[in-house]
Structure 1
């Protein structure tokens, strides 16, 4: 069998066998701790330009189906697994994961050292990497090629993954609200969760203007998850939304942009949060939720009580119990709030589903 190598920018090299498409690929090397949900991970636009290593030992057991993708394509730049499943066993599957990666042109590698890779990233931090199948040049040359790849810091990527044209997700049952959802890398399950609650969701491009958002006469505005460095994004439109008083809800990248609109800064986490097992505490109630995450940046905010913003006092609403980073923000009057994680639970636990209900309550009060 042909050989394959995973090369990190600090010179560490891992040897394995090709998995998925053959060739070469570059991206930021990150790891995902989820034991399930690999199909949702692969099709999450937030993983654009990232090589994802799965820490669970067996990947591909349930194959791939046509119902669970979160977007129209695979977005990960590359894929690293320890032991690919040799047999697909699920009544919904219509192809293997290996075949799906080949079909989508995603270069991957199977290697025994995923634990060593994860420990390396936890110590050294996320970094650039490359996967090469059947390399024909010395490893030192491959390292130099990896170091020439673009870094994630300073990357403006939302526009590369967002919809080019607006579209509508109809309410399921009776329509209660109209939501303008700005697509920064939205997952398909997110508007579905709102539609289940009677929301007609107008999904708009990442560069939608305030006038275009207001043209749909929304009861609320939603900012989605997405890839890239939040410091590169323009938050002028969001500030107009907040100044106008329209209820607002943001998740993940949307949380980071909400923080910046409030006058806060963002920073890059050492290796990020990616998986379906992150403990988050709601500071209002003390309740702990197990939540789904995919982010490499976070908001820097005062954690010792309310702080002033151009839109009135705000506060940190949720924190991560692993590293105490900010996981949620809220204006004190309750009309705008955000969380850093993924309450749509695709894939992941459903502990945070109540946040969609809270958004509906805010729109109802407004």
Structure 2
């Protein structure tokens, strides 16, 4: 069946439908990863968005359900140049199209994803519609497309009640703003017992449990809209407990210190983004998925200093707090899928907890 991608600038791409044949409106971003599409589809940070894969062939190893980063996919639409109908891999549970059908994900294939990616790079992230309906006059849907906004997605992706993973010696509280599973798995691997809390949890309820450390997770949307959560971050940052934050957690903690965030033109989405550790000069390849960053000029040098920067565009990728036992990064050291270069940062968090316990 024919399918159409209608962008808010009036550009129309015609291709073939796969997955759910339903009409969806979302924000469109592109991802430069060559593999890891199951992890991408199930990353809660993509809530409210559709993903354009720049690699031309997607689905060639099918879907392994163990690779899911959350209980269900959060991507609204999936755009590929060519869909592999029959995936081949010894861990495969099903083909990608069947997975998209089961999980109600609308897809389109057979379009020029290179041209689409260049357009997003030039004009920035755009809203768009995936549909199988041929509109003779797209003006009837353009206003609806332009009006779409990503709102309250953290509340839609967070867990509904606390739960525990692992039985290790170190006790860690993980704030779930849309957390990828591998964050908790990396902590469990390092002898931690992880209690995962909903995003609405009061900081005082966590502090009274006397955890060895607190982890702040990734998540979707504009961080500045999370006003109630930022209030709780202000309480946490004064506790003295070691804190490590990733992605949205990194942005929320910056906002709690009255730093500022801004939206990038087209964001960072992929598994090949170079970041530089300013303390050593060493460059690592990282997995990233974010549209917002902390503004460099807004960081108060009396409170914090840049820790990592993006080698490509010099944006802030990590912050080290001077007088607080806290480090935060914009990229994903749990890297699932992606390079394992920065996994050592979880070991750094373990050292922070160890030193705090002996202080």
Normalised-by-shorter TM-score class: over 0.9
Q: In structure 1, which of residues 153, 164, 167 is the aligned counterpart of residue 163 of structure 2?
A: 167
Q: Deviations over 1:87-137 (max 9, x none)?
A: 210011111000000000111101331000000000000011110013355
Q: The residue matched to 1:244 in structure 2 has which SS?
A: coil
Q: In structure 2, which of residues 351, 354, 357 is the aligned counterpart of residue 364 of structure 1?
A: 354
| Residue aligning to 1:201 | 194
Query: Contact 1:306 / 1:316 at 8 angstroms: preserved in 2?
Result: no
CA distance in 2, matches of 1:78, 1:240: 38
Specify every segment of 5 or more residues in structure 2 that has no aligned partner in the other structure, as ranges.
Answer: none
Q: Deviations over 1:25-63 (max 9, x none)?
A: 011010000001000000000000001000000000010
Specify every segment of 5 or more residues in structure 1 that has no aligned partner in the other structure, as ranges.
Answer: none
Task: State the shift of 1:145 in Å.
Answer: 2.7
CA distance in 2, matches of 1:98, 1:194: 33
What pairs up with 1:1-366 in 2 under 5 angstroms? 2-135=1-134, 138-150=137-149, 152=150, 155-171=151-167, 175-234=168-227, 235-302=230-297, 307-308=301-302, 313-333=303-323, 335-366=325-356
Query: Contact 1:302 / 1:316 at 8 angstroms: preserved in 2?
Result: no
- How well do the aligned residues superpose, as a CA RMSD in angstroms? 1.4
CA distance in 1, matches of 2:5, 2:195: 41
CA distance in 2, matches of 1:202, 1:64: 29
CA distance in 2, matches of 1:187, 1:21: 24
Q: The residue matched to 1:250 in structure 2 has which SS?
A: strand
Q: The residue matched to 1:67 in structure 2 has which SS?
A: helix
Task: State the shift of 1:138 in Å.
Answer: 2.8
CA distance in 2, matches of 1:279, 1:149: 32
CA distance in 2, matches of 1:297, 1:8: 21
Q: Deviations over 1:181-200 (max 9, x none)?
A: 10000011110000000111
Query: Contact 1:6 / 1:131 at 8 angstroms: preserved in 2?
Result: yes
CA distance in 1, matches of 2:43, 2:338: 13
CA distance in 1, matches of 2:207, 2:8: 45
CA distance in 2, matches of 1:206, 1:23: 30
CA distance in 2, matches of 1:198, 1:180: 14
